[in-house]
């Protein structure tokens, strides 16, 4: 864990406290135990969990710097990434985790209660349903997703959830810049505007990684997001 604490500070200026380290240790133990039964993540060894899950989640901090979101929604969170590590860093942040796979949503609920995290909602639904729900539509400062879908599809999942003036954040691999370019039309249609592309370097990970940041500059037209499955079938 010392390496993770050191890397977080050096790479992202993130200070991880002793108490936060204890939470991360509990998290990784639970993840490994559940993984034996449920196959929540393909990443199974401790070093990789720390780099490719925890440190990768912390990299989101590069997008908002000293101004973390008051309300964050993490769509397609899987086993809780990047949302739960970010909540561990920012205990006051209101977090909503969205996951359409039941066993993954169940694990998220479990880890939230084991860690005693407050103001975290775990929602077992699809992003398209949430984007049309007045309780969630245009209600978040930031909407984040990691490895969920191509950016032109992902924009339709995330942008409707973000308030005007808020941001969408997509964690992407080496295809990030090309995807961002080809999704600009979709972003614009949904009220978004490409803001920046931030390269991310993780120790020991060869592949280039990027944070794609999209600013919400106008209200999303009422017809978006379309019905579940449509964004993926017929991308904007």
pLDDT per residue over 144-160, tens digit each?
999 789 999 999 999 99
Q: How many beta carbons lie within 10 A of that of residue 27, not counting itself?
A: 21
Mean pLDDT in residue range 49-59:
95
pLDDT at 148 (0 to 100): 86
Q: What's the CATH number of domain 2-233, 3.30.365.10, 3.40.50.300, 3.40.50.150, 3.40.50.360? A: 3.40.50.150
Q: What's the mean pLDDT when you consider all of the chain? A: 96
56-108 pLDDT, tens digit per residue, is 999 999 999 889 999 999 999 999 999 999 999 999 999 999 999 999 999 99
Give residue limits of the domains in the chain: 2-233
Residues 210 and 183: beta-carbon distance below 8 Å: no
Phi, psi of 171 (to 5 degrees): -90, 120
The 3-state DSSP class for residue 213 equals: strand
pLDDT at 189 (0 to 100): 98
pLDDT at 43 (0 to 100): 81
> Which residues are within 8 A (CB) of 123 and not within 5 positions of it... i.e. 6 or more apart?
96, 97, 98, 99, 105, 130
When pLDDT is cut at 50, 70 and 90, the band that residue 44 belongs to is confident
Sign of the CA dihedral with 199 first, then 9, 92, and 122 last = positive
């Amino acid at each position: 864990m010392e390496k993770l604490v050191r890397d977080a500070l050096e790479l992202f200026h993130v200070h991880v406290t002793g108490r936060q380290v204890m939470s991360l240790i509990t998290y990784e133990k639970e993840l490994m135990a559940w993984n034996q039964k449920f196959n929540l993540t393909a990443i199974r060894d401790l070093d990789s969990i720390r780099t490719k899950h925890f440190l990768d989640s912390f990299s989101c901090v590069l997008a908002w710097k000293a101004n973390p979101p008051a309300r964050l929604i993490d769509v397609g969170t899987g086993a809780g990434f990047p949302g739960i590590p970010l909540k561990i860093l920012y205990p006051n942040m209101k977090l909503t985790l969205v996951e359409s796979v039941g066993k993954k949503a169940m694990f998220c609920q479990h880890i939230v209660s084991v860690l005693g995290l407050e103001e975290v909602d775990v929602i077992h639904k699809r992003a398209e349903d949430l984007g049309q729900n007045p309780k969630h539509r245009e209600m978040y400062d930031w909407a984040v997703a990691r490895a969920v879908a191509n950016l032109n599809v992902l924009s339709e999942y995330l942008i409707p959830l973000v308030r005007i003036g808020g941001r969408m954040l997509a964690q992407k691999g080496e295809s990030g810049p090309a995807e961002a370019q080809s999704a600009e039309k979709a972003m614009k249609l949904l009220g978004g505007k490409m803001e920046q592309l931030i390269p991310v370097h993780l120790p020991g990970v060869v592949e280039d990684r990027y944070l794609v940041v999209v600013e919400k500059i106008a209200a999303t037209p009422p017809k978006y997001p379309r019905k579940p499955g449509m964004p993926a079938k017929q991308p904007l």
